[in-house]
Every structure is written in C-alpha cells, then in structure tokens.
Amino acid sequence: MRESASWLAPGRVNLIGEHTDYNDGFVLPLAIEFGCRATVSPGPEGMLRFTSAQEPDPVEVPVADLAPGAVPGWAAYPAGVLWALGVDLPGLTVAVDSDVPLGAGLSSSAALTCSVGGAANDLLELGLSPRELVAATRKAENDFVGAPTGGMDQLASMLGEAGSVLFCDMRTLDVRPVPFGLDAEGLALLVVDSRAPHRHADGEYAARRRSCEQAASTLGLRALRDVVDLDEALAKLAAEPDGEVLVKRARHIVTENARVTDVVALLDAGKVREIGPALTASHASMRDDFEITVPEVDVLVEALLAAGAYGARMTGGGFGGCVIALLDQNAVDDAARAAVAAATAHGFATPRTFTTSPAAGAHSVGAHHAG
Ligand code: GAF
C-alpha cells in the first residue's frame, strides 16, 4: 500500500437552482477556490483516527464500530465516506485541513467528504470513478450523517471545472459544463457571507423537503420536476388542507427550474449580464414562496442591487449563509462596502466579502509510496 494519498476538494457556490435537487430538478453550481485537503494513510490496526486542523481533538473510532449514528460531530462526515465505500477497511489515519468557511452555506461538508473519499480511493486502490465517489459521498451525508440533502454539493465539489458552471440534471445526474467567463466580460461574482447564525436550518430543510414530496404525491407525480401546467397544479394543491404552503413550495420549485434553464440558455448565448434578473427573481421566490431567507440576507441583496448589481440572490440551503451578486468588476469594491454598511446599519453581524470564479473540482494532490 502507498504511505499516504492526499486530495483537495472545493466548496461550492450555487449560481441558481435552489432546493431543486431533491425534486429531481436542475441546478447550476460552481466549485470555488476554498477547499479541504485530506490526507489518508495507514493507521493503527483496527482503528480509524480523524484529525482536523480546525478542531482541537482527534476522534478515534474502531473499524468494527463504524455504523450510522456511531460517530458524533464533524468526524461523522469523513467516517461516513469511509463507511460508504463499502469495503473492509484497514486501520487508517485521516487528516484534514479546510479553508471553506463553516456554516456559511458554501458546502464545507462536501469539500470534506469528497477530499476524504478521493484520498481513500487512491490509498486503498479501489479504482472508483468520480461518479462512484459522488455516490459514496452522498450516501455518507444521507445515510451515515443523516442529513436529507439532495446531492448537488457533492456533484459540484467532485466534478466542478475551472471556468464553467455545471448544469446538472438531478434526475439523470447528467452534467454539462457551461462556460461562465467572468473576466472576459469585465464581470465579477461577489460573495457576501452574512455570518447570520443558522436558525433551525436542519429541521426547516427537512420540512421543505417533506412539503415538496407531499405536493408531488398530491399531484400524482414522481417529483415536482414533472409539473407541466403550473396553474393547474397550483389550483389542485390549493384545495388541500395545507394548500397555501404547498402552493408556495411548489411554485418556487417549478419556477426555479425554469429560471435555471433560462440562465443556461443565456450563458450558452454569451449573454452573461442578462442572467441578472433571473438571479434576483430566484431570491424573491426563496424569500416569499420557499421562505428560506432571513432578514440578514434580504438586506444584503437589496444593498447589492442598489449598488449596481445585475442580479443578486442567496445561495445554498438558506436560513443564513451567503449572498452572491453579479457585478461589473469596477463596481465590486463599492458594492462590498455598501453591503457591509447595510448590515451594520441594521445591527447585523459584519459580513465577510470575497469574489469567486469557477475553480477545479476535487483532485489528487499527491501520493507517497513506501521505500
Ligand atoms: C444544501 C443541500 F445540501 C443541497 O443538496 C441543496 O438542496 C441546497 O441546500 C439547496 O439548493 O446545500
């Protein structure tokens, strides 16, 4: 066996297509420059040892005890991906170091699982393809950690490409890179981390998912992706006892899927600035229909639009997290200042701002061989 294998896997920003993934819909994420580096090496007999540069204490788990629910805290993610590989494991040491901001909705967890999955695949010489690794990292998050997420983040982290957003059909898992050349257009994608505390994010995420499934089942459909006539579907949902909520949730999903395909068509036509209104409409839909935004991010969106953004929206699962804005490069500094000033004026936490552009997906950053 090799002495060690190391992988780097990025976090992600989703350009548009929020909560559509678990509705078999469309998403358009990009891998970002922040990532997690994982090194996996042989460890003490029968023992899995996890260390993180961001955590004070190592976590040790006997291989024999590896099962859903057995590993608490952050180590559940790397432990889960080892479990999801589905092979007899030797003792292993897993060391991770991540600069993806935590709790910001930038998928630090996908960066963690994808880097560990890739490194373990190399060290153990399993020969799994990137898509098989996506499946393992998703299984880790869904079945081991117990988070009912929809798979976009792992796909983005594993398959991201520099210079492109990834148009993903979450039913077929077909992925097409769509060029998103910001520099050539004099454009920038500004990310503003609201630093708002996540409020009940896990429970609310699961509730949104349940409502969408209930709406699809009421309509006799496999998923909300299959709605053909929106008005007819909404009329049917409105007649249900909790019709008002079902109408809003379904309207967000169906219109959001349409916005993703509209944005892809504009990007394919080289009309990058023209995607702005769809981004802003996505935010309004998340705020008013899906009800996953918080005042901290709504204020940032308003401030960024007032500062000249072509479009702005929250990105990620919601209930806090980051806002993205498409801007002319020469407007970025003023817009970032305006966003910080607006948050401060409302007594909110001081946001952190940075620009990003599509970065490479997960990849090996080295293997060391014995002797
Ligand atoms: C989180 C989830 F992990 C994704 O699967 C996706 O549903 C996203 O929220 C919302 O679009 O990041």
Does residue 201 carry a pLDDT above 90? no
Q: Which residues are catalytic?
A: 153
Q: Are residues 300 and 229 in the same domain?
A: yes
CB atoms under 10 Å from CB of 95, counted, come to 20
Q: Is residue 371 part of a domain?
A: no
Q: Does residue 141 line the site of ligand 1, with CB under 6 A?
A: no
Where residue 20 falls among pLDDT bands split at 50, 70, 90? Answer: very high
3-state SS class at 36: strand
Residue 263, domain member (yes or no): yes
224-245 average pLDDT score: 98
The percentage of residues in the chain with a pLDDT greater than 90, rounded to a whole number, is 95
Instruction: Report the nearest atom of ligand 1 relative to the CA of 151.
Output: 5
Q: Convert the pLDDT of each residue in 323-347 to its tens digit.
A: 999 999 999 999 999 999 999 999 9
For Cα atoms 260, 356, 171, give the angle at the middle one, nearest 5 degrees.
Answer: 30
Contact between residue 351 and residue 339 where contact means Cβ atoms under 8 Å apart: yes
Predicted local distance difference test score (pLDDT) of residue 302: 98
**CB of 353 closer than 6 angstroms to any ligand 1 atom:** no
Are the C-beta atoms of 251 and 164 separated by less than 8 Å? no
Q: How many beta carbons lie within 10 A of that of residue 202, not counting itself?
A: 13
Whether the per-residue pLDDT at 200 is higher than 70: the answer is no
The reply to whether 115 falls in a domain is yes
> Can you give the CATH number for the domain in which 330 is found?
3.30.70.890
159 with 217, same domain: the answer is no
- Asked if the model's pLDDT at residue 130 lies above 90, the reply is yes
Rounded distance, CA 293 to CA 116, Å?
Answer: 31
Which of 16, 21, 157 should be mutated for ligand 1, with most atoms under 8 A from CB? 21
* The pLDDT of residue 371 is above 70: no
- Let me know if residue 288 belongs to a domain: yes
Q: Evaluate whether residue 286 is within a structural domain.
A: yes
Whether 49 and 176 map to the same domain: the answer is yes
- Please determine, for residue 188, whether its predicted confidence score (pLDDT) is greater than 60: yes
How much is the average pLDDT of 205-220? 98
What integer best gives the mean pLDDT of the chain? Answer: 97
Q: Are residues 37 and 129 in the same domain?
A: yes
Residue 36 lies in a domain: yes
**Same domain? 173 vs 207:** no
Pairwise CA distance, residues 73 & 47, whole Å? 18
Residue 172 binned pLDDT confidence (cut-offs 50, 70, 90): very high
Q: Do 105 and 46 fall into the same domain?
A: yes
Same structural domain for residues 127 and 158? yes
User: Nearest-CA neighbor of 217 among 241, 253, 246?
Assistant: 246
Does residue 134 sit in the same domain as residue 215?
A: no
Give the global pTM. 0.97
321 and 235 together in one domain: yes
Is the alpha carbon torsion for 355, 358, 362, 368 positive or negative? Answer: negative
Pair (237, 124) in one structural domain? no
> Considering only CA atoms, which residue is closest to atom 2 of ligand 1?
149
Instruction: Name the domain count of the chain.
Output: 2
Give residue 49's domain range. 2-180+359-366
Same domain, yes or no, for 51 and 130? yes
**Does 142 contact ligand 1 (Cβ within 6 A)?**
no
CATH number for the domain that contains residue 111:
3.30.230.10
Query: Is the shortest distance between the CB of 18 and ligand 1 below 6 Å?
Result: yes
Q: Which residue has its alpha carbon closest to ligand 1 atom 8?
A: 317
From 133-142, 150-159, 194-203, 336-345, the region with the lowest mean pLDDT: 194-203
Instruction: Examine the domain organization and report whether 43 and 80 are in the same domain.
Output: yes
pLDDT tens per residue, range 254-295: 999 999 999 999 999 999 999 999 999 999 999 999 999 999
The β-bridge partners of 358 are: none
